[in-house]
Structure 1
Amino acid sequence: MNVVIFGVSGMVGQGVLHACLRDERIRSVLVVVRTPLAVSHPKLREIVHSDFTDLTAIRDELVGLDACFFCLGVSSAGLSEAEYTRITYDYTLAAARAVYAENPALTFTYVSGEGTDSTEKGRSMWARVKGRTENELLAMPFHAYMFRPGYIQPRHGAVSRTATYRVLYRLTSWLYPVLRRVIPRHVTTTDHLGRAMIEVVGLAGTGPTVLYSPDINRLGASNAPGSPLSA
């Protein structure tokens, strides 16, 4: 399958890219970035593009795709609702419309978050905006899956772009085995998240369209190295 990833410079995007490059079912990986990646791989191709609200200039490059893994996101801390909406909602919908126009049978996966507000009426600004984004994607005529992980443990050198999160992960990474035992329904890893995104493409619109950490971990383990389904 041929896939495109948005947000590959973030922690989740790094995990998804790692999973895609390792998976033999993925023939090619296109990444849309603002600055060139320091990564080279035979399957990898990148497009440098600055305006994520308008992808018209690169539409011809977004052809022959089976899936779009949208991992681009930002913390709402310090942002107004308008600023957060521009990045969270506007960027996402611009990408969704662009890839759908060229690939109507495509599967679109979106990394949202545990606590997202599907009613769009709650008190939490970030949750309302994420909920609105999810609702718009689910209404589009492609196969869409919303990923709502809780705590995500980075693997294989994946690093958050947010300084506060980087410090938090450094201080709490040793807690992951404890969290996995105490609150297993609320934790996952970048490994499981990346593999789960690949797995949902094969579901072709079936199954739950909103996936939480237990769903992510179940799907992410189905083709893990050493499992019966591993390539």
Structure 2
Amino acid sequence: MAKNTEHKIRAIITGTTGMVGEGVLHECLQHPQVEEVLIINRKPLGLIHPKLKEIIHADFYDLSPIAHELVGYNACYFCLGVTSVGKKEPEYFKLTYTLTMHLAEILSKTGYDMTFCYVSGGGTDSTEKGSSMWARVKGKTENDLMKLPFKQVFAFRPGFIKPTPGLKNAHAFYKYINWLYPIGRAIFPNGFCTLKELGLAMINVTADGYDKQIIDSKDIHLLGAE
């Protein structure tokens, strides 16, 4: 697909202390169209790069003290997330929906034409009525993000993500079953993508748009092609 190489990106990324956020940050720092990256963390990431600015902020449920520092960006790659294992719905809802929407609502009011990319997950329930708690919560988060006045909103629904070699935050689960990746992708391509493809897909939808708001692994393969 044709790419708009003139579009310069200034991105906010959350979740960079986790595997997905670290991988997306890695792609952004290497990409020539990304001019600047702002990361928001509770503790320092420990990375220095000419493109990178970091804000340390403890309370993600109250970002109002740093709202003025979030102005001037045209993309947000929301990679912050938690597992639902062991959590009741009210706790998971707060950690997933409430936290995400708080940042999104602030960013939607900055006056900039922003693309918001939300990392959801394969199996997310857009109807919000299914039996799976996490899928309902993720579905509501996606749906309500798409109601906000952003230039574009995309919900990314990867399945198995192959980590980027050399990065430090890959989950042990992925490290031990990476050998399954070529087999799984060949048999069930909609359930497998690489972290590199995911990061590049976010950059490319920001620059070029896309005709779908729900981005599954097949779309990630297409959008993340170099």
Q: Is 2:190 the counterpart of 1:185?
A: yes
1:156 counterpart SS class:
coil
Aligned pair partner of 2:165 in 152, 156, 160: 156
- Displacement, 1:60? 0.8
Structure 2 gap segments, 5+ residues each: 1-8
Q: Deviations over 1:122-180 (max 9, x none)?
A: 1100000000000000111111000001111111334557xxxx332122111111112
- Equivalent in the alignment of 2:6: none
1:20 counterpart SS class:
helix
Q: Is 2:52 the counterpart of 1:44?
A: yes
2:74/2:112 contact within 8 Å kept:
no
CA root-mean-square deviation: 1.3
Q: Is 2:141 the counterpart of 1:126?
A: no
Q: 1:159 to 1:81 in 2, by over 3 A?
A: farther
- Displacement, 1:100? 1.5
- Equivalent in the alignment of 1:115: 123
Q: Deviations over 1:39-76 (max 9, x none)?
A: 11100000001111111000110011110000000000
What CA distance in whole angstroms lies between the structure 1 residues aligned with 2:167 and 2:137? 26
1:68/1:109 contact within 8 Å kept:
yes
Give the fraction of aligned pairs with identical amino acids, expressed as a percent: 48
Structure 1 gap segments, 5+ residues each: 225-231
Aligned pair partner of 1:202 in 204, 207, 214: 207
Aligned pair partner of 2:154 in 145, 156, 159: 145
Q: Which amino acid aligns with 1:102?
A: T
Could you list the structure 1 runs, at least 4 aligned residues long, displaced by more than 6 angstroms after superposition. none
Q: Which amino acid aligns with 2:79?
A: C
* Equivalent residues in 2 for 1:1-231, closer than 5 Å: 1-142=9-150, 143-160=152-169, 166-204=171-209, 206-221=210-225, 224=226
1:181 counterpart SS class:
helix
1:65/1:103 contact within 8 Å kept:
no
What CA distance in whole angstroms lies between the structure 2 residues aligned with 1:170 and 1:18? 18
Q: 1:151 to 1:198 in 2, by over 3 A?
A: same
